[in-house]
Amino acid sequence: MKQESVSQSTPPASPPPSPPPELSAHRPQDDGHPPALWIFGYGSLVWRPDFAYSDSRVGFVRGYSRRFWQGDTFHRGSDKMPGRVVTLLEDREGCTWGVAYEVQGDQVSEALKYLNIREAVLGGYDTKEVTFYPQDTPDQPLKALAYVATPQNPGYLGPAPEEAIATQILACRGSSGHNLEYLLRLADFMQLCGPQAQDEHLAAIVDAVGTMLPCFCPTEQALALV
């Protein structure tokens, strides 16, 4: 399967965003541990972080819902046919499952430098602090850094009917692969989290794709997409 990697032809990276002060030192520096940072992934980061990390935990954040409302003209689409990828929408009743990665010491600057290209420069995402609840220890939440695409960025597409989003996903491909692969990998991750991990928006798009795919292309071509 294709990776969410950054090609050598990408534009020069701007300086990596500095995490909020409260996130910059997950552990005190005088306790013998190197400074650490948790990074929350809820899209392609759940299956391919592509940066070195010391620990990872499956879990969720409250107060946000995942939506396929961000346009992607690099990884899963093109300038002429932007793909659809996920962002977080503030939602008091929402709950979004994903993976938090702990980076320590030199890993912190390297991860932020890489993600600045992948998420900010190429993706249009900003950073935001979230509270992450590990699946195994939800009573021990962690502060984490998340990349969120807001309506202010030029690639933002906003809401659309699930059927329209599914049609767009079926039509688009970028440097990291077909947009359909992105959707199905995310759906696979949610299944691994168990029945408590619900995402009605994602499930509706998957259902719409399943209905359209036989008419969209022959079976052998559909299998080649993933």
Find the radius of gyration of the CA atoms of the chain.
Answer: 17
CA distance 90 to 4: 25
Question: Which listed residue (4, 102, 119, 181) is catalytic?
Answer: 119
3-state class (DSSP) for residue 111:
helix
Which residues contact residue 220 at a Cβ distance below 8 angstroms, ignoring those fewer than 6 apart? none
The H or E element spanning position 222 is: helix 219-225
Render pLDDT for 12-22 as a digit per residue (tens, 0 to 9). 444 445 455 44
**Interstrand relation of 36-41 and 83-104 (parallel, antiparallel or unpaired):** antiparallel
CA distance 125 to 140: 27
Render pLDDT for 178-203 as a digit per residue (tens, 0 to 9). 999 999 999 999 999 999 999 999 99
pLDDT of residue 35: 79
Name the pLDDT band for 217 (thresholds 50, 70, 90): low
Known active-site residue 129: no
pLDDT of residue 34: 58
CB-CB contact of 150 with 77 (8 Å): no
